[in-house]
Amino acid sequence: MPYLNKFILEKVQDNFDKIEFNRMCWTLCVKKNLTKSPLLIVEEDAFKIWVIFNFLSEDKYPLIIVPEEIEYLLKKLTEAMGGGWQQEQFEDYKVNFDDGKEGLSAWELIELIGNGQFSKGMDRQTVSMAINEVFNELILDVLKQGYMMKKGHRRKNWTERWFVLKPNIISYYVSEDLKDRKGDIVLDGNCCVESLPDKDGKKCLFLIKCFDKTFEISASDKKKKQEWIQAIHSTIHLLKLGSPPPHKEARQRRKELRKKLLAEQEELERQMKELQAANENKQQELETVRKKLEEAASRAAEEEKKRLQTQVELQARFSSELEREKLIRQQMEEQVAQKSSELEQYLQRVRELEDMYLKLQEALEDERQARLDEETVRKLQARLLEEESSKRAELEKWHLEQQQAIATTEAEKQELEHQRTEKEQALQEAMAQLVQLELERKQALEQYEGVKKKLEMAANMTKSWKDKVAHHEGLIRLIEPGSKNPHLITNWGPAAFTQAELEEREKNWKGKKTTE
């Protein structure tokens, strides 16, 4: 049928009867295809349904009618029978429709209508009349039909005629059996229809003006008159625009809509596949990042373990040096006790030297504590710098992800806009953290300067004490401090915090980071 409609039937002459051609094709195929089960419709109605199927079917082989067109046809039949359309019943029918099946064949459609599933309570005659009405509209292009009175051109008498309105002509017959045609009113874009006032005892009059003739017609009531005037006016308007009949145009729009929906569905499936692939890639990237983070955490734990071990070793070494200093001090005190009887005149001098020694030891302890504080500050500043660089790298990464997200499809625009807002908020929070870290770094630098001055003062005091002791080195051998421990060093010099203060600052900083 698609081939016949496009390449043969549309090119035949005007006097070619397509209904007879369809009847010939029907005769060739009906016996071997029509079901033998009893139907509520006669063979003539089945033939009309078969012709309607050829009009509504899809333009591909094998011919089928899709559920949307089935619903359209069943609705028109229900309206023609004067019944109400039951959408829920049709939805149940579509649910039971085979998933692997795109539509119904002509014979399945005939069986569906013939078994009376969607025409319960209607007799055969009503169903036959509804099929005939839909057939006239869709196949014969009958836009409207009915009895009206027509005024003659010669005798000027009024005669009842059966009028049939088609896209370019109004034919009138003796009766509705269409056997005796009395004439035609050829319509074109120059025709017009006008309402007339009642006259000569006739009511509901209207006038059809054509190029060479004028027709006066009387409808049975005002409603029929208005319906006919509106139908003829719409037909003339379509002729001016060169548009096809309304049902053919509606059928084409439905096909184009189905094609558009199918294309949109395919595009949506393609986008879903792309999104799924992108999601899988993101999952792989996240898994890679997670593994790298775990490796970094393990390395950090190993470094922390080594640092703790080194700290323990340094503490042990410092304790041994303190013990050795105590031992030396005890030895010197014993020597002083042995010589106390001989050196009574120097007792006051020795006491002064001991006071000087205590002050020197306090100065050395202050110097050692200052160096420890300096190392603590340096560690803190190094960690702050490392976190600052990691924050900057994270900001650059977020900025790159934001640019990549903006470059994605427009269909994800709203979702990406939401993500961009969240990332900008996170970016602002990270910038605030960065500013806070900068402030803390400046504060640490100021503390470092204070500690450095303090260290210089302690060093000057130590030097002055050493000079004073140098005058008395012939009397007694001074106890010198042991070897200096490795000090905590930062990028700006010796640290100014103790280990306890450093741990307290680390705890506060981690608490702030967790809260943010």
- Cα dihedral 444→445→447→453 (10° resolution): 160
Sorting pLDDT into bands at 50, 70 and 90, what band is 475? very low
The reported pLDDT for the residue numbered 457 is 86
Higher pLDDT, 412 or 51: 51
Residues 85-121 pLDDT 10s: 777 777 777 777 666 677 788 788 788 887 777 777 6
Which residue shows structure tokens 């049709």?
A: 90
pTM above 0.85, yes or no: no
Mean pLDDT of 378-391: 83
The reported pLDDT for the residue numbered 163 is 92
Question: Over 50: is that where the pLDDT of 477 sits?
Answer: no
As a whole number of angstroms, the distance between CA 159 and CA 148 comes to 8
Average pLDDT of the chain is 80
Mean pLDDT of 364-368: 85
Residues 1 and 137 placed together within one structural domain of the fold? yes
Spatial contact of 79 and 85, defined as CB atoms under 8 Å apart? yes
Mean pLDDT of 248-260: 80
Mean pLDDT of 242-262: 80
The reported pLDDT for the residue numbered 516 is 64
The reported pLDDT for the residue numbered 483 is 46
Choosing from 226, 244, 262, the residue where a domain stops is 244
- Find which of 24-33, 220-229, 370-379 is predicted with most confidence, using mean pLDDT: 220-229
For residue 87, the enclosing domain spans: 1-141
What's the CATH number where 154 sits? 2.30.29.30
Eight-class DSSP state of 160 = E
Number of domains in the chain: 2
Residues 121 and 8 placed together within one structural domain of the fold? yes
Sorting pLDDT into bands at 50, 70 and 90, what band is 148? very high
Q: CA triplet 144, 147, 153: central angle to 5 degrees?
A: 105
The string of DSSP letters for 312-351 reads HHHHHHHHHHHHHHHHHHHHHHHHHHHTTTTTGGGHHHHH
Mean pLDDT of 182-186: 88
Spatial contact of 52 and 63, defined as CB atoms under 8 Å apart? no
Residues 163 and 230 placed together within one structural domain of the fold? yes
Domain-embedded: residue 433: no
Residues 8 and 94 placed together within one structural domain of the fold? yes
Q: CA triplet 325, 331, 333: central angle to 5 degrees?
A: 100
Domain-embedded: residue 279: no
As a whole number of angstroms, the distance between CA 507 and CA 490 comes to 19
Mean pLDDT of 348-376: 83
